[in-house]
Amino acid sequence: MPSFFLHTNSPGPCSANGVRRTSGAALLVGLIALAMASPALASNRWTVCDYVVETVRIDPAGQHLTVKLIRGRSRPQGDCPRVPAELSFRPETADYQSDVPRKRWPAKGARWTLRYRYLDGECKYTGPCRIQHHSLMK
C-alpha cells in the first residue's frame, strides 16, 4: 500500500480517521469572502435584448447599418435601448464570431430580428467599458 494511504500518529488537527478538521472561523471567513464576491460575479453576466427592427439606412461605405427598433421581443433588462430608438452598428453572425458579409445585410425597409447583447466590465487600458454585440437572428 502506498505511503499516502497510511495514517500517521503525528499530532495535529486531525480526527481519529485522519480527516482534517475545519474550524468554524475558517468556514465563516470563506462564507464572508464568497458573499463579498457575489455582486462582482453577478455583474459579469451578459444582458440580452431581442428586438424586431426595420432597416432605415445603410452607410454608403458599407461600414454600418442603421435600424429603427419597432418592438421588443423580450422584457427589457438592465440598460437595453427603449423602443422607439435608432441604432447604428455592423451586424454580426448569431454566434458573435464574425461580421455578416455586406451582401447578406437586410435591405432598406426590411424587418428582421436583432439580438443586442452587452457586458459591462473593466477594460485593460481604458477602465470601465461595455462590450456590445448586434446579431442578425432568423
Residue extents of the structural domains in the chain: 47-137
pLDDT at res. 13:
55
Exposure of 15 in the CB half-sphere (CA atoms within 13 A)? 6
pLDDT value at residue 115: 94
Local structure of residue 102 (DSSP, 8 states): G
The string of pLDDT tens digits covering residues 74-121 is 666 778 888 889 999 999 998 889 999 999 999 999 999 999 999 999
How would you label 31-45 residue by residue, b for 16+ Cβ within 10 Å and e otherwise? Answer: eeeeeeeeeeeeeee
What digits encode the pLDDT tens for the residues 47-86? 999 999 999 999 988 799 999 999 987 666 778 888 889 9
pTM of structure: 0.64
Question: What's the confidence (pLDDT) of residue 80?
Answer: 87
| pLDDT of residue 37 exceeding 80 | no
DSSP letter string over 31-99?
HHHHHHHHHHHHTSS-EEEEEEEEEEEE-TTSS-EEEEEEEESS---TTPPPSS-EEEE--B-TTSSSB
